[in-house]
Each structure stands twice: as C-alpha cells, then as structure tokens.
Amino acid sequence: MFPKLLHEGAILLADSHAASWRTPFVDFLAALERDEIHTTQLILMGDNFDLLFGPVAQTLRDNHASIELLNRLSQKIEIIYLEGNHDFRLASLFPAIYVVDRSHQPLILSFKEERIALLHGDMKVPFGYALYTNLIRNRPILFCLNVINEVFNGIIINTLSKQMQRKNHCKKIENFEAIAKRHLGTSWAHKCDVIIEGHYHQNCTFELDGMKYYNLGAFACNERYYVVKSSQDRTIILDEAIFHKEPR
C-alpha cells in the first residue's frame, strides 16, 4: 500500500545518476543520515542511479554502499522511490521503501486541498521507446543480460557506464511545453491539480490547461533538490535548494 499524503517539508530529488565517478547523491544521503538535512519524507523521482537493475548483479555491487545507506535511512524517514528508466526492478533491494514501478505511476498524493501527481516522466513516449522500456524491464531479458555480463567480465554494464559518462544532463529542450502537454491526453490528468516529474532535467514550471506543472532539474547537473512548502492559499510550492558537500 503506497502512502496517500505528501508532507510539508518533503524533499523531492530527481535524476541524480549516481555512479562510482559521480558521488553527490551518496553525499546527500549521508548528510540526511547525519541530520545535517532534515525531512520526514524523501521522494526519489527516478534515475537516481546511472545503472541499477535489480536482477543484474554488477549494478548491485557497483552501488552497494548507496543501497545500504538508503536502507538505513528508510528506518528513520519515509522514502518513496519512483523507478526511472535507469533504475528499476528495485523492490527486493529496498524492503522498507515504497518502490513505485512504471506501471503504477503517476503516484497521486494529497497535499492540503490539492492532488499531486508524481512520476518519473517517461510515460507518454513514442512507440519505439515504449517498446524498448518494456523489454528492458522484462525479467527473462534481464536474466540473460546478467548471465552474459557475468560470463564476459562486465562487458555490457561497463560499456553502458562509459556511454553514460559522456551524457550531458544539463541540455535545454526547445519547445518543451509541447512535450509536457502530452499528459493532457491521459486518463488521470484531469483528476490532478499539480503534475511533478523528472526525466527531462528542465527545471521549469508553467500552467498546463489549468494545472500547475513542474519539471524538476537534474541533481546530476548542479545538485538541485526541492522542498515542499505551502503558500498562503494552501497550494503547493517547491522551494529550490542546492546541495553543497561541506569539507570535512
């Protein structure tokens, strides 16, 4: 059973793309564990790891410290994890975390008098991408991928990792509002007051046919995260913050 309420002061964080060579997400989680950052609810909006596929052993080994840290944090605060297109089949890794797979997104939570739709963002996509993203989550395919990767000393995951290191997470998308409008044709959009998603890394907000729409900036780009607050009329505000690891 998923949570029903979005907390005042909740932290939303999207697209951190954590990897051995990109550690700010791990530093952020460690700051939460040390109570240097305070919240009662952490919502991870997907793609928080560059490569984390539950059935693929190397991705678990590569991210072991982060997985353990998230599991410790889940004993202190409520964590909701919306799976993305780089991190999926995670429920068995995080027994005390509310893991929301793609088929159960958006997750709709209540905040004051508003209904908030939360999703990673790779939902209304072209047919080719939709086919790919369904195949890559298929358990037999992941089983085969894992066997090949283990037999050939990480050939698949190491190749993907090198490709990810070349990716630009701060790219501006022209005419992005047209992409966001794809949600208007969904069965759930008319039930919501606010849509919040990641995936596109645009850090923008605008009105979308009477709804407020947020696309979150990528934590991987400049370590940006968002704190949920309410305005005087009890509507949601996302207060932007930048994480800077303090020297120790």
- Beta bridge partners of residue 229, listed in sequence order: 237
pLDDT score, position 25: 95
**Within a domain: residue 29?**
yes
Is 182 part of any domain? no
Q: Are strands 224-230 and 11-13 parallel, antiparallel or unpaired?
A: antiparallel
- Please give the Cα distance from 120 to 43 (Å, whole number): 11
What pTM did the predictor assign? 0.94
CATH of the domain at 231: 3.60.21
Radius of gyration of the chain from Cα atoms?
Answer: 18
Classify residue 31: in a domain, yes or no: yes
Q: How crowded is residue 244: how many other Cβ atoms within 10 Å of its Cβ?
A: 10
Per-residue pLDDT of the chain (248 residues), as tens digits, is: 899 999 999 999 999 999 999 999 999 999 999 999 999 999 999 999 999 999 999 999 999 999 999 999 999 999 999 999 999 999 999 999 999 999 999 999 999 999 999 999 988 777 787 788 888 899 999 999 999 999 999 999 999 999 999 888 899 999 999 999 999 889 899 889 999 999 999 999 999 988 999 999 999 999 999 999 998 888 999 999 999 765 43
Per-residue pLDDT, 245:
63
160-177 pLDDT per residue, tens: 999 999 888 899 999 999
In a domain, 247, yes or no: no
pLDDT in tens, 29-46: 999 999 999 999 999 999
Q: Look at residue 174 and tell me if it is in a domain.
A: no
The answer to the question of residue 203 being in a domain is: no
For residue 115, is it within any domain? no
Domain residues for the domain of 29 are 11-103+126-169+216-242
- Provide the domain count of the chain: 1
Q: Under a CB-based contact definition with an 8 Å cutoff, are residues 230 and 193 in contact?
A: no
Is 183 inside a domain boundary?
no
pLDDT at 246: 56
Q: At what angle do helices 155-165 and 139-151 cross, to 10 degrees?
A: 100
